[in-house]
């Protein structure tokens, strides 16, 4: 059992001061106080909550950690920079150092512009595409941050004016027809296609090339969202892994292994135009995150790392699948996504959403009781050992056995 006294106590104060924590439906249990919500420390594969419970962590700050929490070398660079200063009045040479490394690693990167969150640089990418094409509409598939253009075509589009919603269109991943139709219907109106390359599914053979062909033919800019895939799937991102180079692409999350840094990269002929636009943030050049990013990139620039993450992920997926088989839950639980980030999805025959929800929550709760931090999406990091993965699959089996009855 875990004691969560402090977690429960802090939760009350938190809710009175900081609104909006409810909006991740699947995080409800973390709010109910049955699972931890407040964390104080992380090291390698482990995190500690405020009640001092230690968890084997597969959350990895929603994938912002690739090398494990509090990585020595990355921290060392950050602390060294801390003594020199945080945010300067003019540029800092770390901008150049970090940009150069990205340019070497990422096929589409000829020029670089930094931001803090993925949302910053995705919105900057969309603006640049609108400027270059002189068109207003955006076609996307997947999740691309919190700005109006991106939330407009989701169920979370509160507070976004209708005329803005109309500019954002959605196509279906791996369905080239859906893209064709949208472009036909909005001829000469589409500025860019924004997509991630491997969220739940791998791209079908030829799909990405087909997207690129359509984009080029219609003079639409192709933007890859590599916030999750970047450095995780391959040092050069998913674009290198799948061999398709976009016009612009966006990196964030793991870029500085937990330090706040994101980047818009792209072809020179487009990126140059960014200088006509206005994209300027006080903290975009903040140097501690850049120092961390520069060091993290050195570590990422090694095929062995992404191979290692893939191998570990495959190892875990096999074990998890075996547990699903053994419990005869193949129709109910499916594993999607890349090996380095398996997504576990629960399907329930009952149309009763609350049962499905209860079940998801049960899993999260039961994992927490066994000191594993899990929320459906599993992020593999460098420090996860085979022993830890074995433990994960062992508990997975136990949790499934315990909850099997709810599926029937």
Partner 1 sequence: MKLEKSRRIIRVAKKILPGGSTFNKTAFFDEGKTPFCLVKGNKSEVTDIDGNNYTDFMNGLGCNLLGYNIGFINRAVEKEINNGCLLPFASDLEIQVAKKLKKLIPSAEMVRFGKNGSDVLTQAVKLSRYCTNKKHVIFGGYHGWHDWVIGSSSRSGGIPEAEKKISHKFIFNDFNSILKLHKKLNGNIACIVMDLVARYYPEKNFLKKVRDFCSKNKILLVFDEIVTGFRINKGGAQTFFKVTPDLSCFGKAMGNGMPISALVGKKQYMKKFNDVFYAMNFVGEKASLAAAKVTLDYYLKNDVAKEINKKGNFLSTQLKKIIKKYKLNNFIQIQGMSSRIIIGFKNNLDSDFLKKKSADIDQIVRFMIQTFAENKILCNLSVFINKSHSKKDLTKFAKIFDQICYKISNSKV
Question: Which residues on adjacent β-strands are paired with residue 343?
Answer: 336, 377
In the complex, minimum distance from the CB of residue 317 to partner 1, in angstroms, rounded to a whole number: 22
Q: Which is nearer to partner 1, 208 or 271 (CB)?
A: 271
In the complex, minimum distance from the CB of residue 134 to partner 1, in angstroms, rounded to a whole number: 9
Q: Find out whether 400 and 323 touch, Cβ atoms under 8 Å.
A: yes
CB atoms < 10 A from the CB of 89, how many? 7
Q: Which is nearer to partner 1, 182 or 290 (CB)?
A: 290
Question: Which residues on adjacent β-strands are paired with residue 53?
Answer: none
Alpha-carbon Rg for the chain in angstroms: 22
Q: Which is nearer to partner 1, 251 or 407 (CB)?
A: 251
Using CA atoms, how far residue 181 sits from 72, 184, 214, 216, in Å, is 50, 5, 11, 16
In the complex, minimum distance from the CB of residue 23 to partner 1, in angstroms, rounded to a whole number: 6
8-state DSSP, 370: T
Q: Which is nearer to partner 1, 113 or 312 (CB)?
A: 113
Q: Which is nearer to partner 1, 129 or 324 (CB)?
A: 129
Q: What is the DSSP string of 271-298?
A: HGGGGGS----TTTT-HHHHHHHHHHHH
In the complex, minimum distance from the CB of residue 30 to partner 1, in angstroms, rounded to a whole number: 6
In the complex, minimum distance from the CB of residue 347 to partner 1, in angstroms, rounded to a whole number: 25
Q: Find out whether 342 and 313 touch, Cβ atoms under 8 Å.
A: yes
Q: Which is nearer to partner 1, 32 or 303 (CB)?
A: 32
In the complex, minimum distance from the CB of residue 95 to partner 1, in angstroms, rounded to a whole number: 6
Of 247, 220, 223, 225, which is closest to residue 237 (Cα–Cα)?
225
In the complex, minimum distance from the CB of residue 12 to partner 1, in angstroms, rounded to a whole number: 10
Using CA atoms, how far residue 304 sits from 45, 89, 232, 261, 299, in Å, is 19, 39, 11, 24, 10
Q: Which is nearer to partner 1, 183 or 288 (CB)?
A: 288
């Amino acid at each position: 059992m875990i004691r969560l006294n402090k977690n429960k106590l802090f939760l009350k104060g938190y809710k009175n001061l900081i609104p909006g924590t409810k909006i991740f439906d699947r995080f409800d249990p973390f709010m109910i106080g049955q699972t931890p919500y407040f964390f104080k420390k992380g090291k390698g594969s482990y995190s500690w909550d405020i009640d001092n419970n230690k968890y084997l962590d597969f959350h990895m700050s929603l994938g912002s950690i690739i090398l494990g929490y509090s990585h020595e070398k990355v921290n060392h660079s950050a602390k060294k920079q801390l003594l020199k200063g945080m945010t300067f009045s003019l540029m800092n040479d770390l901008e150049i150092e970090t940009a150069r490394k990205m340019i070497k690693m990422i096929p589409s990167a000829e020029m670089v512009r930094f931001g803090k969150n993925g949302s910053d640089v995705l919105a900057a990418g969309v603006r640049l595409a609108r400027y270059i094409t002189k068109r207003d509409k955006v076609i996307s598939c997947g999740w691309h941050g919190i700005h109006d253009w991106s939330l407009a075509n989701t169920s979370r589009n509160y507070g976004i004016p209708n005329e803005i919603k109309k500019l954002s269109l959605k196509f279906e991943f791996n369905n080239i027809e859906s893209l064709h139709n949208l472009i036909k219907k909005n001829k000469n109106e589409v500025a860019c296609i924004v997509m991630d390359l491997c969220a739940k599914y791998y791209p079908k053979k030829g799909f990405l090339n087909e997207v690129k062909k359509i984009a080029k033919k219609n003079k639409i800019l192709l933007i890859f969202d590599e916030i999750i895939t970047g450095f995780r799937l391959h040092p050069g991102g998913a674009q290198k892994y799948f061999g398709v180079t976009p016009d612009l692409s966006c990196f964030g999350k793991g870029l500085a292994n937990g330090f706040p840094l994101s980047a818009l990269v792209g072809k020179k002929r487009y990126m140059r135009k960014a200088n006509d636009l206005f994209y300027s943030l006080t903290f975009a050049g903040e140097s501690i995150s850049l120092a961390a990013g520069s060091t993290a990139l050195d570590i990422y620039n090694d095929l062995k790392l992404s191979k290692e993450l893939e191998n570990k992920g495959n190892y875990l997926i096999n074990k998890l699948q075996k547990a699903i088989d053994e419990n005869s839950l193949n129709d109910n639980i499916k594993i999607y996504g890349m090996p380095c980030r398996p997504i576990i999805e629960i399907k329930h025959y009952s149309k009763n959403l609350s049962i499905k929800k209860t079940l998801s929550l049960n899993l999260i709760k039961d994992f927490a009781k066994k000191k594993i931090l899990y929320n459906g999406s599993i992020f593999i990091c460098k420090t996860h050992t085979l022993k830890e993965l074995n433990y994960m699959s062992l508990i997975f089996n136990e949790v499934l056995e315990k909850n099997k009855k709810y599926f029937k």
